């Protein structure tokens, strides 16, 4: 199974900051990478797919990059509604696997 | 409205069994793959089992392989998870989620675009 490792596990930031989260795959997954955002008590929501494609309705301050084994999610000018937990997930092979999550907090 | 509603959770003793159900509405059920994802409250997501986007391939996490069996009934628009030989570490909120094909350039991949609110499974003596 492919292991996904995110870093950091949590980070403190302020409104207006630029935030970068990293996800590494244990083997190459091309661009088969998805980023989700989850807020407390809510289901996860797709932010980015195919490593860099912005899901419809997601603000343009979110961006993704990477290919192979190294990926990043960047939030430019963090807004109050962005404080949440972010997960990466590989969609390259079954079983699908998630990273352990990165909590973005004040 | 597209909805997924899970049921069947509860408290069960280690070694016991439980069957979860997920009822779908608001979309053409047979056209989509589906997955089960679990989450210990306050912790991360663990993909448990699922179909790919066209429903032709299935997989299980190593932690549940051989103990859990996923099935679907298109006529009833329902997804099921039969959980056997349950362990304390299976305690979690179990979500079902719809698998949707997304395409970007030459990359076509599936993502979990609609999630249910989950049903809680507690394995305890």
pLDDT in tens, B49-60: 998 777 788 899
Mean pLDDT by 10 residues, chain B (125 residues): 96 97 95 94 92 83 96 95 97 96 90 96 96
Q: Do A53 and B58 touch (CB under 8 A)?
A: no
With left for phi above 0 and alpha for psi between -120 and 50, is residue B78 left, alpha or beta? beta
- Determine the residue among B3, B38, B111 to mutate to test chain A binding: the one whose Cβ has the most chain A Cβ atoms within 10 Å: B111
Residue A64: count other Cβ atoms within 10 Å of its Cβ: 23
Q: What are phi and psi of B31, to 5 degrees?
A: -85, -5
Q: Is B57 on the interface with A (CB under 8 A)?
A: yes
CA A71 to chain centre: 9
- pLDDT at position B52 is 79
- What is the Cα B111 distance to its own chain's centre? 13
The answer to whether A103 touches A44, Cβ cutoff 8 Å, is no
Identify the pLDDT of residue B53.
76
B112 touches chain A (CB under 8 A): yes
The predicted pLDDT at position A33 comes to: 97
- pLDDT one-digit tens code per residue, A42-101: 999 999 999 999 999 999 999 999 999 999 999 999 999 999 999 999 999 999 999 999
User: Mean pLDDT, to the nearest integer, of A30-45?
Assistant: 95
Residues of B in contact with A1 (CB under 8 A): 61-62
Task: Please report the pLDDT score of residue B55 as a whole number.
Answer: 76
Collapsed DSSP state (helix, strand, coil) of residue B82: strand
Kindly identify which residue of chain A lies nearest to residue B56, measuring between CA atoms.
A94
């Amino acid at each position: 199974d492919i292991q996904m490792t995110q870093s950091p596990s949590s980070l403190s930031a302020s409104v207006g900051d630029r935030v970068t989260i990293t996800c590494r795959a244990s083997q190459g997954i091309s661009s088969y990478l998805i980023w989700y955002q989850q807020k407390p008590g809510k289901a996860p929501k797709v932010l980015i797919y195919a490593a860099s494609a912005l899901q419809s309705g997601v603000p343009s301050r979110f961006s993704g990059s990477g290919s192979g084994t190294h990926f990043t999610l960047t939030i430019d000018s963090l807004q109050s509604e962005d404080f949440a937990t972010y997960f990466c997930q590989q969609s390259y092979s079954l079983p699908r696997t998630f990273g352990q999550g990165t909590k973005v907090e004040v | 409205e597209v909805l997924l509603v899970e049921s069947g959770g509860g408290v069960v003793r280690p070694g016991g069994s439980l069957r979860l159900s997920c009822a779908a509405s608001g979309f053409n059920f047979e056209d989509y793959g589906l997955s089960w994802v679990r989450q210990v409250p306050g912790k991360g997501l663990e993909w448990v089992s699922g179909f790919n986007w066209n429903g032709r391939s299935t997989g299980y996490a190593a932690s549940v392989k051989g103990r859990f069996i996923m099935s679907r009934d298109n006529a009833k628009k329902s997804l099921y998870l039969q959980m056997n030989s349950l362990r304390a570490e299976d305690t979690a909120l179990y979500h079902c989620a719809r698998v949707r094909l997304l395409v970007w350039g030459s990359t076509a991949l599936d993502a979990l675009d609609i999630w249910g609110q989950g049903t809680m499974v507690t394995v305890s003596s």
